[in-house]
Amino acid sequence: MSTLIEAIEGDITTQRVEAIVNAANSSLTGGGGVDGAIHAAAGPRLLEACRALRAESLPDGLPAGEAVATDAFDLPARWVIHTVGPDRRAGQTDPDLLASCFTRSLDVARDLGAKSIALPAVGAGVFGWDAAEAARLAVDAVRAHPGVEEGEFDVVRFVLFGEKTLRAFVDALRR
């Protein structure tokens, strides 16, 4: 069975999938955009879980390109997978680091046994990556992931904000 890879415009916090990906900051303490929306919708226990991760295993924060999971609490998903995109505005311009956000998120989802996952356009917001470049890197990373190639996921859904970003991902999926 093959994995469905799709792109929609919508609110990632309302997706009925097993795991949603949070475009987090390295402190895991919430912020703006997708990160703030996920923290608000998940409720205060998400922040508590993130603080526990920081205290137990991530004292310096989550590095860019890596991913880690928590429960999703008040969200319809079961898990939140937090990943930190490279901040292009701060000189983090390595495309492999941005692609790693998607690869590592899928690795974590696979380890959890999640069959459905929703991902935002990591890096394409305040971190300054061009939507088309972020989309190309994201789609290529997802397509090349062993769990996708082997059909271990039922659906990988890019949930995007805004027509420009949606169009960039739809175009990347058509390639």
130 belongs to the catalytic site: no
pLDDT at 1 over 80: no
Tens of pLDDT, residues 49-99: 999 999 999 999 999 999 999 999 999 999 999 999 999 999 999 999 999
Residues recorded for the chain: 175
Instruction: Please name the residue that has the structure tokens 């090349």.
Output: 144
Tens of pLDDT, residues 143-158: 999 999 999 999 999 9
Tens of pLDDT, residues 95-151: 999 999 999 999 999 999 999 999 999 999 889 999 999 999 999 999 999 999 999
**Given the residues 11, 35, 96, 171, the one annotated as active site:** 35
**CATH code, residues 4-174:** 3.40.220.10
What count of other Cβ atoms lies within 10 Å of the Cβ of residue 115?
A: 17
pTM summary value: 0.97
Note whether 33 and 160 are within 8 A (CB).
no
Distance of CA 48 to the CA centre of its chain: 20
